[in-house]
């Protein structure tokens, strides 16, 4: 075996080991996320956690949501999703959201047809081709979904979802103080006034973990 | 085959550690998978879904179910495709029943529930 081949093999092996270690880290991280119904994380040496809101906190969130919804709807410059879809359709160069949503559905049907073919196919080369086609269709579908979401990003519903996500962070973000978990933001005013880079990044991180905890709630 | 990115949650759920924990938890009391026993988070519920699903797939694999291999279980994309195939090809009648409550199965599998004739004939030994 010549030196070049040996070096290539070593590189391959290193890449494989690195990938395996990365996978292991990923699994450990995932295991810590599912251990209980709160997620602890460290940010710049400080311990934080997000948890599921209590019944009382859920009431607080609902009340804030209703207040924000009324506020958004009272402002005539805001548009609902239905109104925005209609406006986009009437533009000089129309954007047809229902048609795009239909395309997402059609792509899903195509993916399912290919999935059935792949499961029944035994030939390695054909299987490889079908897998590539499925990946292509999934990518196309995801791109379309992101485009729809982007086009509708200024509607009232999206603004309300963004507000809720941030408000929940204010409600459930805690930090450790003398071995006790205490609220990080003492009041909503303090939360709204926070404009440091530290707080911005912390809120972003907390919102990410909170989305994992409360995905469909 | 070059594997695409695997969801770590699914990877954990199909792994030996949690699969054996799941089997033991369903046989013995006192074994729990999470620290909390109620008020599960979204990700915990997702994990339980995948844990149960992979448990069923492993059982099907042992039974030699058609089109199911270890490779299918180990790969998210192949597994998704297998589950679609299962829904569309293997169990189409069950799917039709879900979609249409008035759906009647084909004559071959129709069971005569109005008959009073017992399906098992008892006799004295």
The sheet with strand A38-43 has its strands ordered as: A38-43, A46-51, A174-177, A180-183
- Number of separate domains in chain A: 2
Asked if A100 is an interface residue toward chain B (Cβ–Cβ < 8 A), one would say no
For an interface test with B, give the residue of A115, A122, A128 to mutate (most B CBs within 10 A).
A115
- Min mean pLDDT across A2-11, A126-135, A171-180 is at A2-11
Query: Per-domain residue ranges for chain B?
Result: 7-99
Q: Is residue A122 part of a domain?
A: yes
A72/A163 same-domain check: yes
Tell me the HSE value of A124 on the side-chain side, using a 13 A CA sphere: 3
**Yes or no, beta carbons of A120 and B46 under 8 Å apart:** no
Which pLDDT value is given to residue A158?
A: 95
Residue count (chain A): 217
Residues of chain B contacting residue A110, judged by C-beta atoms under 8 Å apart: none
The domain boundary residue, chosen from A154, A178, A202: A154
* Residue of chain B nearest A25, judged by CA positions: B8
d(CA B75, CA B5): 9
Min CA distance, B102 vs chain A (Å)?
Answer: 25
CB contact under 8 A, B43 and A52: no
pLDDT at A68: 96
Q: Are strands A180-183 and A46-51 parallel, antiparallel or unpaired?
A: unpaired
Rg (CA), chain B: 20
In a shared domain, residues A41 and A142: no
Give the chain B residue whose CA is nearest to the CA of A138: B77
The answer to whether the Cβ–Cβ distance between A213 and B41 falls below 8 Å is yes
Asked if residue A26 belongs to a domain, the reply is no
Beta carbons within 10 angstroms of residue A57's beta carbon: 14
pLDDT score recorded for residue B125: 46
Q: Per residue in A143-184, pLDDT tens?
A: 999 999 999 999 999 999 999 999 999 999 999 988 899 999
The rounded distance, in Å, linking the Cα atoms of A68 and A170 is 15
The answer on A127 and A36 residing in a single domain is: no
Q: Cβ(B84)–Cβ(B97) under 8 Å?
A: no
On whether residue A39 sits in a domain, the answer given is yes
What pLDDT is stored for residue B105 in this prediction?
60
Same domain, A148 and A95: yes
Domain of A164, CATH number, reads: 3.30.2220
Asked whether residue A181 falls in the same domain as residue A74, the answer is yes
> Which of A154, A171, A201 marks a domain boundary?
A154
Q: Which domain holds residue A213?
A: 31-78+155-217
Q: What is the pLDDT of residue B111?
A: 47
Distance from CA of A33 to the nearest CA of B (A): 8
Looking at the structure, do residues A83 and A73 belong to the same domain, yes or no? no
Q: Are A51 and A172 in contact (CB under 8 A)?
A: yes
Question: What number of residues does chain B have?
Answer: 125
| 10-residue averages of pLDDT along chain B (125 residues) | 78 95 81 88 95 96 94 97 92 67 59 49 50
Which residues lie below 8 Å from residue A108, measured CB to CB, with a gap of 6+? A141
Of B12, B34, B85, the CB nearest to A119: B85
Domain boundary among A117, A138, A154: A154
**Per-residue burial over B37-73, b = 16 or more CB atoms within 10 Å of its CB, e = otherwise:** eeebbbbbebbbebbeebbebbebeeeeeebbeeebb
Same domain for A83 and A148, yes or no, is yes
Same domain for A124 and A176, yes or no, is no
Q: Is residue B33 exposed (0-12), middle (13-18) or buried (19+ Cβ within 10 Å)?
A: middle
Name the least confident of A16-25, A27-36, A155-164, A190-199.
Answer: A16-25
């Amino acid at each position: 075996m010549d030196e070049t081949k040996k070096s290539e093999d070593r590189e391959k092996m290193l890449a494989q080991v690195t990938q395996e270690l990365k996978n292991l880290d990923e699994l450990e991280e995932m295991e810590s996320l599912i251990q209980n119904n709160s997620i602890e994380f460290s940010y710049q040496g400080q311990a934080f956690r997000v948890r599921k809101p209590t019944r009382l906190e859920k009431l607080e969130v609902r009340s804030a949501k209703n207040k924000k919804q009324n506020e958004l709807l009272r402002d005539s410059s805001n548009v609902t999703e239905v109104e925005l879809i209609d406006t986009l359709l009437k533009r000089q160069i129309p954007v047809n959201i229902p048609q795009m949503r239909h395309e997402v559905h059609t792509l899903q049907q195509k993916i399912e047809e290919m999935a059935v073919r792949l499961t029944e196919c035994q030939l390695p080369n054909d299987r490889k081709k079908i897998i590539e086609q499925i990946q292509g269709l999934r990518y196309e579908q995801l791109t379309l979904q992101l485009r729809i979401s982007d086009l509708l990003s200024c509607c009232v519903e999206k603004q309300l979802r963004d507000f809720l996500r941030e408000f929940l962070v204010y409600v459930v973000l805690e930090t450790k103080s003398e071995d006790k978990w205490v609220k990080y933001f003492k009041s909503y005013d303090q939360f709204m006034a926070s404009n440091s880079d530290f707080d911005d990044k912390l809120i972003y991180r907390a919102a990410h973990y909170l989305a994992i905890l409360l995905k469909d709630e | 085959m070059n594997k695409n990115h695997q969801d770590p949650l699914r990877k954990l759920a199909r792994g030996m550690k949690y699969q054996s924990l799941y089997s033991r938890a369903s046989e013995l009391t006192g074994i729990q998978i999470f620290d909390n026993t109620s008020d599960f988070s979204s990700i915990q519920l997702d994990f339980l879904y995948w844990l149960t699903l992979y448990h069923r797939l492993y059982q099907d694999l042992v039974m030699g179910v058609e089109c199911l291999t270890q490779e299918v279980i180990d790969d998210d994309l192949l597994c998704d495709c297998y589950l679609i195939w299962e829904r569309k090809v293997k169990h189409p009648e069950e799917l039709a029943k879900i979609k249409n409550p008035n759906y009647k199965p084909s004559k071959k599998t129709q069971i005569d529930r109005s008959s009073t004739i017992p399906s098992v004939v008892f006799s004295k030994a």
